[in-house]
């Protein structure tokens, strides 16, 4: 399958394939796909001939650089015009959401934008025999369609958010903040967290705590718990288990252990941690990202068994504790490149169908890095995915939320990581947070949202993603979160 790429009606001679992957009609990313660019053509070599779609970081004039897909297309000898197919996909998704939400009474100005997008696309299709001209019309159609679709998403969110607020549908601990343990002893840090959140999330790393079998170092965790409980903050902690290589103790792999050995060691670790803190920590992220990060190469059956065993360990020690299963990389791009992985939706569905007992899913949402799952997405894609995942029938937490406040470098450069509307700055971060929080908290299934980085620090995965500076001065985004908390708790 091939795609011809245009900009300003001219074939591009260079193009960076940031985040590019293919997926099938079920939305699952495809393995064994080789995507390359040469002489204006993106060439997608793959196994099989089923219809497929291409997604990649795409620049939209006046809107930024975001991940956008094509529709699912059959193979053909002649290259598709990528500009036209991306516009087609956005129009189809927007029309679908509009009908689902029954939003047909927008302002005349907004309706005009939508009609212009449709008219431009029809003209683009009529000129598909001239790909250069068709691409120019498609680009104009896409720009108007994406502006309309985002305004549509915000309109729908505002309606639901107001209804939820009027019915007092928010629980008393809806807003959280992920704290950096090395900053907790610095003046002003904990106070800054308490002003914008109902609860704090403390990280747990098995590799750092159980340094040898049965030998535990709880000093850092004790200090974090003591500091935060002194400020009367509710606590969530985890993940208790994360099967990324950096989170697993080296001794675990001595002597080539089998699955049962790893499962039993994990059970003992969870039991020790939960027993120590059950009187102070009420919510546990039991296991995180096992859909994507599977360093132990578990089979699908073993993934489910590990998930079940971990939740049983928490329940055995802390029956009233809230048990949360965290899912990473919600659009599933990683499935194309990470072995032994499962798509997010497949993992969530398998956990439910297999009878694992737990209380909620947590969904990681962070943007601003050239890494699978972290390329920029727009608000329509976010709200559409949350609507879909809500159908699973489990309460949801939105966790690890991060977005930059300034331009980054390297993998955080907006040219390869994406950007929303304009170059990142304090005002752009604040506007994104305002819209994002309104969208996610408008969903009845969302019990809480956690911002993933209180203050800028050198270890931040996404540069400049704090809502406080390194010296704990508030950014515009911090003020947005503070006002948001005050509003949802007001009578």
pLDDT of residue 107 exceeding 80: no
* Per-residue pLDDT, 291: 97
Paired tokens of 207: 């590799």
Same domain, 324 and 463: yes
Question: How many domains does the chain contain in total?
Answer: 2
- What is the pLDDT at residue 491? 81
What is the band of 106 on the pLDDT scale with cuts at 50, 70, 90? Answer: low
CA dihedral in degrees (427, 428, 434, 437; nearest 10)?
-140
- Taking all residues of the chain, what is their mean pLDDT, rounded to a whole number? 95
Q: Say how far apart CA 228 and CA 69 lie, in whole Å.
A: 43
Same domain, 6 and 153: yes
If we measure between CA atoms, which residue out of 263, 275, 277, 193 comes closest to residue 228? 193
Query: Cβ atoms within 10 A of the Cβ of 36, count?
Result: 11
| 208-230: b (≥16 Cβ within 10 Å) or e | ebbeeeeeeeeebbeebbebbbe
Mean pLDDT of 371-379: 96
CA 174, 180, 185, 186 dihedral sign is: negative
Question: Mean pLDDT across the stretch 368-384?
Answer: 97
**Residue in 119, 113, 152 with CA at minimum distance from that of residue 138:** 119
Same domain membership, residue 155 and residue 286: no
233: which residues sit within 8 A by CB, 6+ positions away? 190, 193, 194, 197, 199, 200
Task: Give yes or no for residue 158 having a pLDDT over 80.
Answer: yes
Last residue of a domain, one of 163, 187, 205: 163
One domain, residues 148 and 178: no
Among residues 163, 178, 212, the one where a domain terminates is 163
Question: CB-based burial of residue 454 (10 Å sphere; 0-12 exposed, 13-18 middle, 19+ buried)?
Answer: buried
What's the pLDDT band for 49 if we cut at 50, 70, 90?
A: confident
Q: What is the mean pLDDT of residues 87-91?
A: 98
* Helices and strands (H, E) in the chain, number of each type: 13, 21
Same domain, 26 and 57: yes
pLDDT at residue 108, as a whole number? 59
221/354 same-domain check: yes
Instruction: Determine the Cα–Cα distance for residues 360 and 323; give it in Å rounded to an integer.
Output: 7
The mean pLDDT value for 131-159 works out to 96
* 153 and 186 housed in the same domain: no
> Does residue 231 sit in the same domain as residue 159?
no
Query: DSSP secondary-structure letter at 462?
Result: S
pLDDT at 449 over 80: yes
Which range is least confidently modeled, 25-34, 77-86, 204-213?
Answer: 25-34
* Percent residues over pLDDT 90 in the chain: 92
Task: Pull the structure tokens for residue 265.
Answer: 């060691």
Judgement on whether residues 153 and 200 belong to the same structural domain of the protein: no
Assigned token pair, 280: 């102070």
pLDDT digits (tens, 9 = 90+) for 425-446: 999 999 999 999 999 999 999 9
Residue range of the domain that includes 325: 169-488
**Co-location of 300 and 207 in the same domain:** yes
β pairing state of 396-402 and 360-366: parallel
Confidence grade of residue 332 (pLDDT, cut at 50, 70, 90): very high
pLDDT in tens, 226-273: 999 998 999 999 999 999 999 999 999 999 999 999 999 999 999 999
CB distance 246 to 461 below 8 Å: no
Decide if 52 contacts 46 (C-beta within 8 A): yes
Tokens of 187: 């003046």
Among residues 135, 163, 191, which one ends one of the domains? 163
Phi-psi region of 455 (alpha: psi -120 to 50; beta: other; left: phi over 0): beta
Query: Residue 261's domain is classified under what CATH number?
Result: 3.20.20.80
One domain, residues 131 and 197: no
Evaluate if residue 27 carries a pLDDT over 70: yes
Question: Is the distance from CB of 176 to CB of 449 less than 8 angstroms?
Answer: yes
Question: Looking at the predicted structure, is the pLDDT value of residue 110 above 90?
Answer: no
Report residue 464: phi and psi, to 5°.
60, 30
Stated as kind and residue range, the H or E segment containing 411 is none
Q: Is the pLDDT of residue 109 over 80?
A: no
Task: Report helix, strand or coil for 465.
Answer: coil
Q: Which residue has the tokens 């720009």?
A: 143
% pLDDT > 70, the chain: 99
Distance (Å, whole) CA 313 – CA 269: 9
Given the structure tokens 């309309």, which residue do they identify?
148
Q: Are residues 309 and 215 in the same domain?
A: yes
Distance of CA 328 to the CA centre of its chain: 7
């Amino acid at each position: 399958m091939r795609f011809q790429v245009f900009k300003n009606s001219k074939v591009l001679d260079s193009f960076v394939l940031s985040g590019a992957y293919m997926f099938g009609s079920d939305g699952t990313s495809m393995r064994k796909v080789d995507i390359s660019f040469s002489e204006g053509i993106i060439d997608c070599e793959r196994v099989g001939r089923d219809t497929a779609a291409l997604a990649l970081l795409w620049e939209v004039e006046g809107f930024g650089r975001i991940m956008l897909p094509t529709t699912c297309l059959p193979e053909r000898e002649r290259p598709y015009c990528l500009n036209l197919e991306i516009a087609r996909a956005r129009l189809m998704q927007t029309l679908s959401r509009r009908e689902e939400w029954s939003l047909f009474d927008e302002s005349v100005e907004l309706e005009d934008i939508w009609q212009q997008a449709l008219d431009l696309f029809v003209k683009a299709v009529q000129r598909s025999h001239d790909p250069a001209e068709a691409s120019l019309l498609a680009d104009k159609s896409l720009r108007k369609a994406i502006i309309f679709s985002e305004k549509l998403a915000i309109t729908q969110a505002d309606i639901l958010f107001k209804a939820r607020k009027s019915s007092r549908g928010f629980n008393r601990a809806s807003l959280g903040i992920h704290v950096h343990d090395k900053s907790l002893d610095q003046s002003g840090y904990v106070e800054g967290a308490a002003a914008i959140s109902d609860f704090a999330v403390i990280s747990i790393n098995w590799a750092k705590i159980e340094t040898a079998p049965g030998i535990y170092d709880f000093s850092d965790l004790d200090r974090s718990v003591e500091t935060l409980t002194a400020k009367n903050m509710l606590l969530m902690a985890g993940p208790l288990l994360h099967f990324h290589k950096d989170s697993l103790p080296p001794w675990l792999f001595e002597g080539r252990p089998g699955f049962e050995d790893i499962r039993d060691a994990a059970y003992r670790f969870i039991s020790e941690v939960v027993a120590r803190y059950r009187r102070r920590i009420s919510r546990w992220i039991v296991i995180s990202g096992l859909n994507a990060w599977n360093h132990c190469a578990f089979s699908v059956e073993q993934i489910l068994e590990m998930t079940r065993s971990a939740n049983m360990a928490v329940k055995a020690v802390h029956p009233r504790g809230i048990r949360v299963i965290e899912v990473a990389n919600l659009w599933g791009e990683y499935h194309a490149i990470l072995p032994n992985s499962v798509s997010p939706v497949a993992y969530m569905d398998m956990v439910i169908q297999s009878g694992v007992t737990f209380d909620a899913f947590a969904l990681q949402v962070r943007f601003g890095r050239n890494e699978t799952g972290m390329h920029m997405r727009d608000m329509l894609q976010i709200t559409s995915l949350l609507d879909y995942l809500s159908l699973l029938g489990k309460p949801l937490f939105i966790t690890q939320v991060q977005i930059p406040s300034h331009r980054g470098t390297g993998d955080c450069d907006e040219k390869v990581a994406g950007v929303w509307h304009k170059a990142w700055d304090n005002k752009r971060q604040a506007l994104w947070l305002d819209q994002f929080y309104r969208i996610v908290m408008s969903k009845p299934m969302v019990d809480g949202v956690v911002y993933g980085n209180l203050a800028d620090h050198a270890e931040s995965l996404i540069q400049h993603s704090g809502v406080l500076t390194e010296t704990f001065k508030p950014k515009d985004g911090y003020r947005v979160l503070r006002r948001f908390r005050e509003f949802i708790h007001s009578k």
